[in-house]
Each structure stands twice: as structure tokens, then as C-alpha cells.
């Protein structure tokens, strides 16, 4: 039961197979197309974002370059306007007005100044007290002095007004000082702070890795991160890194004028956000595909499974034995072909069952006839046995009579031998002899009559045995018929097994029936073979009995001849006794002749006794053969009974089918 439950639980039905097949065929392309479309969109969006970031960085770089290049040019022009002769204290009248004018024209310039080797500081925005400010100690001065005739720029610093600035410096033509422009970076920061994507932004770092522009750091602060190593080792490129546990991408380049690193950074999640509509659209397409596929699959499976279920219900009825059900053959497809083939198989099965039913009826009738024939033969054998027993009894009586005759003849011989010595007793002896002769004659007549009866009985027994032989031949023909029927039934069962095997799972029930029919046919063939063997043995015994009966006939005819001779001898004895009575004178010669005749009678009687013994022996042999034939017929009757029972069982099996 558990094994059957497990098999049912693990059953891979046609419905499930069709659902999986349709799901693969209909959903797989949708999934592949959706995933491919999503990946392509993601790649394109990522590429577009990177391209946008590159354009943004290039735009920022262009703005930085345009802004700072102008200031570099201004520093070059201004530095060429001054020399040592114009330096006259902090308020040098030839320098300060020009510096002040420049500041008014360029508001992004916080201050313009000239520092001298003597530590003098000439400003465009004079201060009352420099508080010990020494330009020689400042980076802008040192860098310019280190590179005379070249415009240099310092790193970002925070001035006293808490503003991010850089100083662009250049030595005067006669190296009598250094011109410096203090540039406010707030305007540049505002212009360069460009949105990259939705959450991205532009980062500008100076050559010392200090922030110039950044949303996550103040200008002048030192930048940190693993990406800096890659950024400062290349002129431009793309970097993937993690910021605050979120993956980001950065594209960067190096400004050729300032050496600043201008980068556009953005979160990689923006790609997912950008392709979310595409992803949602793909999901919607897959959902719609699933719904449409489910509807299509439902109707397709319904179209396939409904006729299969009807065919299965029909096969269930057929497996229960109802061969009268109609099979729907209206479908014009493979299922319809299967239904038509199955209908043909059921029709063939119905014809085969009808043939088996007719065959079983014939087998049952034949077995009943065989049983009746066996019973009749048994009764005939019983009659033969009784007749043979009567013959044996008659033979015993004949032997007794012959023995008595032999004894009488012996006594007569003794008396004939004593005639010569007892002449006075001749009359009495003759009387005794006459009585003995009469008795012997009567015995001989009785023996003749018994032998004739034996001959009649033997003739009847011969006829009965001949009739038994004929009936055995008829039984043999019936057995041949049964054997042929069994072979035909076995062939039909084999065909049924083949058809059941073709039917597969639905033909298992019929395969069991076909196997039972084949077993019954095999048992019927075996029973028929045993009956044939018994009939063959019985026919051999009957043939032997016919031979013995023929020999018994010949022996009885010999006995009749011998008894007839004895009768004639007794007649002669009777005449001799009468002659002795009338002719006492010839007593001596008559006694001699009587002695001779007595010897002949003794010999004849001995011969009769031998024949009677042989006849008794033959009757015993015939009786034993009849007993054996009777036993054989009982076996035949038992086999016929078994055959009838098997036929009834086969009829019971066939009756399960409703034709």
C-alpha cells in the first residue's frame, strides 16, 4: 500500500508534462527577452550615465580652464606693468591704483598684491596693519621665486575671511618682486558644482589632494579614499569604489593648466533606478505572458485531456469486463486515431472472447460426452468382467467334471482289469460300468454344453472388446479435438497477451485474463494428452485382449472337438457294455478292448483337463485386462471430469466480459 501511495505521489502525469512544456515554450522566450532587454537597457543607461559624467567633467574642466587661464593671463599682464622703480612703500602710487582698478573690474579677485624681497607688501586693498605679514614666508612667493617668469598657483587655502582661495603668482620682469592675485573659488565652485545623474556631483581636487569643490568635504580639507591613488597615478580614467558602504563610479581627468583633478562621481544604484521603468515593464510583460500562457495552456490541456479522460473512463469499464461500451472516435487527431485503434482492439478482443466462449462451450460439451463415453465404456468393461468371471466359473466346473470323468475312467479301468479275476462279479461290474458310462456320457454332454456356453461368452466378450476398441478410437478423436481446441485457445490467449502488451498500462487487466485463459488452455492440453496416453494404453490392452480372446476361441473349439470325441467314446462304452451283457463269451476280449478305450478316454480327459486349465488361465488374464481397462476408464472419467471443471472455470472467467 505504501509503495503504491509513493508511486502515485511521484506520478508525472501528462497534464503536468504539458504544463511544464507549455511553460518552457511560452515563458522562456518572454523571460529571455525581458532579461535581455533589461540587461541591454542597464548597459545602455550605465553607458549614458558614464558619457554624461564625462561630458559634465569636460564641461567643468572647460569652465575651470577658462576661468583660471584668464587669471593666469591677467597675472602675466599685470606683472609686466611693474618694476623695481615703481615700488615706493606700501602705498606705491604707481602700483596701487592699477591693482585697485583690477579688483573693481574683477570681483572674483579678493586682493591683488606685490611682495618684495625686502618683505614689503603692496596691496590693492591696503591694510592699516600687516601684523608682521611677511610675503617671503608664503607659498605663493616661494613658488614664484622658484620659477621666475612662470605663472604659478598655490593650493587651496582658507583666508582670514573663511573663504577658499588660491593665489596666482608671477615674478616681476626684473625679479624685483612677485605679483599675486588672491582668487575667490566660491564662484568657480558654484559653476562647477554640476549635478551628475540624480545623486552624483562634480569633485575638484588640487594637486595636493585638497578639496576645491566637493559636496562631501569643505574646500581646503584633505581628501581621503582608496580611489586617490588611482586618480593621481593617471591623467584620466574611470574608477569603481565604495563610499559610505555604497558602490560608486567616478570618471576623472587632469586640468592641464592647474594640475587639478576634476571628477564626476555617482552611485551605481542610479543605473538600477534609471532602468527601473524598463525592469517594471519587463516584469509586466512576463506577468501578462504568464496570464496569457496560463489561459492558452488551460484550453490546450483541456482539449487534450478531456478526450483522454473519456478514453480512460472507457478503458476502466473495459478492464472491468464490459466490452459493450462505445468509444468516442469523433476527434480527427492523434487522440482520435488512438481511440479508433483502441476501438479496433476492443472489437478484436470481443471477437476473441466470443471465440473463446464458443470454444469453452465446445470443450465443455466434448468433456461431457467424453465423461459419458467413459462411463458407458466402464459399464461395458464391468459387463465383460462379469462375463469373464462367469467363464472362469464354468471353466472351474469343467475342470471338476473332467477330473471326475478321469476318476471314473480310472475306476473303470481298474474294474476292467479285475474282470478276468472276478467273472462272478461281471454283472454287478457291468451295471456299475453302465451307470458310470451313463454318468460319464451326461458329464460329457454337460461339458459340451458348458464349452458351447464358453464359446458364446467368448464371442460376446470379443464383440464387447471390439466395441471398446472402437469407442476408444472415438474417444481418441475427441481427445484430438480437445487438444486442437486447447492449442487454438492458447494461440488466442497469446494474441490477447500481445494486444494487452500493446495497450500498455490499460491492457494489464486484460493481460491477466489472457494469462488465465492461456493457463486453462495449457491445462486442457495437458489433460487431453493424459487422456490420449490412457486411451493409447487402453487400446494396447484391448488389442492384447483381442489376441487372447482369439486364442481362447481356438482353445474352446479344440475343447469342443475333444469333448465330442469323449462323447463318441462314451457311446462306444455304452454299446460295449450292452454287448457284454448279451455276449458274456466275449468278456475277455471286450475287457481288453475296454481297457484300450479306457486309456484313450483317460488321455482325452487329460487333454480336456489341460484345455480347461488353459481356458481358466486365459479367462483370468482377460479378467485382469478387463480390470485394468476398467481402471483406465475410471482415469479417463476423472480426466473428463477435470476437463469439465476447467471448462466451467474458463466459462466463469469469460462470463466476466459483457459482450
- When pLDDT is cut at 50, 70 and 90, the band that residue 32 belongs to is confident
Average pLDDT, the chain: 76
Query: Nearest CA to 472 among 577, 406, 545?
Result: 545
* Range from 48-57, 115-124, 492-501, 541-550 carrying the lowest mean pLDDT: 541-550
Please give the pLDDT value at position 112.
93
Our measurement of the distance from residue 260's CA atom to the centroid of its chain's CA atoms, rounded to an integer in Å, reads 76
Name the percent of the chain lying above pLDDT 70: 68
Mean pLDDT throughout 277-300?
79
DSSP-based three-state secondary structure for 336:
helix
Mean pLDDT throughout 57-74?
89
Q: Which three cell numbers stand for residue 99?
A: 591693482
Query: Nearest CA to 441 among 601, 620, 653, 230?
Result: 601
Does residue 241 have a pLDDT over 70?
yes
What count of residues does the chain have?
659
- When pLDDT is cut at 50, 70 and 90, the band that residue 1 belongs to is very low
Does residue 10 have a pLDDT over 60?
no
DSSP-based three-state secondary structure for 483:
helix
* Range from 263-267, 417-421, 551-555 carrying the lowest mean pLDDT: 417-421
Please give the pLDDT value at position 270.
77
Residue with cell 598684491: 113
Mean pLDDT throughout 361-384?
69
Instruction: Give the integer Cα–Cα distance in Å for 114 and 30.
Output: 74
- When pLDDT is cut at 50, 70 and 90, the band that residue 390 belongs to is low
Strand partners, 374: none
* Range from 186-195, 205-214, 443-452, 597-606 carrying the lowest mean pLDDT: 597-606
Please give the pLDDT value at position 320.
72
Does residue 424 have a pLDDT over 60?
no
- When pLDDT is cut at 50, 70 and 90, the band that residue 542 belongs to is low
Does residue 4 have a pLDDT over 50?
no
Question: What is the SS3 string spanning 205-269?
Answer: ECCCCEEEECCCCCCCCECCCCHHHHHCCCCCEEEEEEECCEEEEEEEEECCCCCCEEEEEEECH
| Digit-coded pLDDT (tens) for 245-277 | 888 888 999 998 888 999 988 888 877 777 777
Instruction: Give the integer Cα–Cα distance in Å for 203 and 217.
Output: 9
Torsion angles phi and psi, residue 3, rounded to 5: -65, -40
Domains and CATH numbers, the chain: 13-28+278-319 (no CATH), 80-188 (3.30.450.20), 190-276 (3.30.450.20), 340-419+429-472+539-654 (1.10.287)
DSSP state of 124: S
Please give the pLDDT value at position 296.
82
Mean pLDDT throughout 526-532?
71
Contact between 113 and 182 (Cβ < 8 Å) = yes
- When pLDDT is cut at 50, 70 and 90, the band that residue 616 belongs to is low
Mean pLDDT throughout 433-454?
71
Contact between 534 and 636 (Cβ < 8 Å) = yes
**Vertex 634, ends 628 and 639: CA angle to 5°?**
130
Query: Nearest CA to 615 among 371, 474, 481, 447?
Result: 447
pTM: predicted TM-score of the whole model, two decimal places: 0.43
Amino acid at each position: 500500500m505504501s509503495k503504491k501511495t509513493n508511486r502515485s505521489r511521484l506520478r508525472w502525469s501528462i497534464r503536468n508534462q504539458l504544463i511544464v512544456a507549455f511553460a518552457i515554450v511560452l515563458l522562456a522566450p518572454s523571460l529571455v527577452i525581458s532579461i535581455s532587454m533589461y540587461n541591454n537597457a542597464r548597459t545602455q543607461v550605465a553607458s549614458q550615465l558614464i558619457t554624461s559624467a564625462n561630458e559634465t567633467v569636460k564641461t567643468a574642466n572647460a569652465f575651470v580652464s577658462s576661468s583660471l587661464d584668464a587669471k593666469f593671463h591677467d597675472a602675466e599682464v599685470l606683472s609686466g606693468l611693474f618694476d623695481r622703480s615703481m615700488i615706493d612703500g606700501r602705498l606705491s602710487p604707481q602700483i596701487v591704483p592699477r591693482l585697485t582698478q583690477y579688483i573693481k573690474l574683477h570681483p572674483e579677485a579678493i586682493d591683488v598684491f606685490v611682495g618684495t624681497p625686502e618683505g614689503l607688501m603692496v596691496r590693492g586693498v591696503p591694510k592699516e596693519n600687516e601684523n608682521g605679514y611677511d610675503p617671503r614666508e608664503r607659498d605663493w612667493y616661494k613658488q614664484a621665486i622658484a620659477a621666475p617668469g612662470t605663472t604659478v598657483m598655490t593650493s587651496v587655502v582658507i583666508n582670514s575671511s573663511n573663504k577658499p582661495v588660491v593665489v596666482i603668482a608671477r615674478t616681476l620682469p626684473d625679479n624685483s618682486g612677485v605679483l599675486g592675485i588672491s582668487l575667490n573659488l566660491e564662484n568657480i565652485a558654484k559653476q562647477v558644482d554640476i549635478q551628475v545623474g540624480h545623486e552624483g556631483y562634480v569633485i575638484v581636487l588640487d594637486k595636493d589632494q585638497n578639496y576645491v569643490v566637493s559636496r562631501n568635504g569643505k574646500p581646503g580639507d584633505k581628501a581621503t579614499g582608496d580611489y586617490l591613488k588611482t586618480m593621481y597615478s593617471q591623467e584620466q580614467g574611470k574608477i569603481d569604489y565604495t563610499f559610505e558602504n555604497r558602490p560608486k563610479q567616478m570618471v576623472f581627468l587632469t586640468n592641464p593648466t592647474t594640475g587639478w583633478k576634476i571628477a564626476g562621481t555617482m552611485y551605481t544604484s542610479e543605473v538600477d533606478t534609471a532602468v527601473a521603468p524598463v525592469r517594471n515593464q519587463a516584469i509586466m510583460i512576463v506577468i501578462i505572458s504568464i496570464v496569457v500562457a496560463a489561459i492558452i495552456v488551460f484550453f490546450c490541456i483541456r482539449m487534450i485531456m478531456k478526450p483522454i479522460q473519456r478514453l480512460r473512463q472507457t478503458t476502466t469499464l473495459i478492464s472491468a469486463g464490459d466490452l459493450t461500451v462505445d468509444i468516442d472516435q469523433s476527434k480527427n487527431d492523434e487522440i482520435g486515431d488512438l481511440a479508433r485503434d483502441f476501438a479496433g482492439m476492443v472489437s478484436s478482443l470481443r471477437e476473441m472472447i466470443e471465440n473463446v466462449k464458443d470454444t469453452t462451450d465446445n470443450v465443455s460439451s466434448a468433456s461431457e460426452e467424453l465423461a459419458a463415453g467413459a462411463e458407458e465404456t466402464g459399464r461395458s468393461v464391468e459387463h465383460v468382467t462379469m462375463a469373464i468371471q462367469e467363464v472362469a466359473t464354468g471353466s472351474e466346473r469343467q475342470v471338476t467334471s473332467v477330473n471326475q470323468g478321469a476318476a471314473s475312467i480310472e475306476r473303470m479301468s481298474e474294474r476292467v482289469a479285475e474282470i478276468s479275476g472276478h467273472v462272478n462279479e461281471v454283472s454287478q461290474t457291468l451295471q456299475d460300468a453302465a451307470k458310470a458310462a451313463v454318468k460319464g456320457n451326461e458329464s460329457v454332454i454337460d461339458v459340451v454344453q458348458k464349452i458351447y456356453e464358453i464359446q458364446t461368452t467368448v464371442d460376446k466378450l470379443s464383440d464387447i472388446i471390439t466395441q471398446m476398441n472402437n469407442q476408444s478410437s472415438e474417444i481418441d478423436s475427441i481427445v484430438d479435438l480437445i487438444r486442437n481446441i486447447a492449442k487454438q485457445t492458447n494461440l488466442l490467449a497469446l494474441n490477447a497477451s500481445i494486444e494487452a502488451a500493446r495497450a500498455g498500462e490499460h491492457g494489464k487487466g486484460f493481460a491477466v485474463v489472457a494469462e488465465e485463459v492461456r493457463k486453462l488452455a495449457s491445462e486442457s492440453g495437458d489433460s487431453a494428452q493424459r487422456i490420449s496416453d490412457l486411451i493409447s494404453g487402453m487400446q494396447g490392452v484391448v488389442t492384447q485382449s483381442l489376441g487372447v480372446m482369439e486364442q481362447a476361441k481356438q482353445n474352446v473349439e479344440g475343447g469342443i472337438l475333444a469333448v465330442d470325441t469323449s462323447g463318441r467314446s462314451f457311446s462306444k462304452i455304452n454299446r460295449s457294455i450292452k454287448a457284454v451283457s448279451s455276449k458274456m463269451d466275449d468278456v475277455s476280449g471286450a475287457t481288453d478292448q475296454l481297457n484300450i478305450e479306457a486309456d484313450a478316454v483317460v488321455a482325452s480327459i487329460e487333454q480336456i483337463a489341460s484345455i480347461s486349465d488353459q481356458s481358466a488361465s486365459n479367462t483370468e488374464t482377460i479378467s485382469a485386462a478387463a480390470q485394468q481397462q476398467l481402471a483406465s476408464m475410471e482415469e479417463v472419467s476423472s480426466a473428463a471430469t477435470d476437463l469439465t471443471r476447467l471448462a466451467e472455470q474458463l466459462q466463469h472467467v469469460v462470463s466476466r466480459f459483457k459482450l
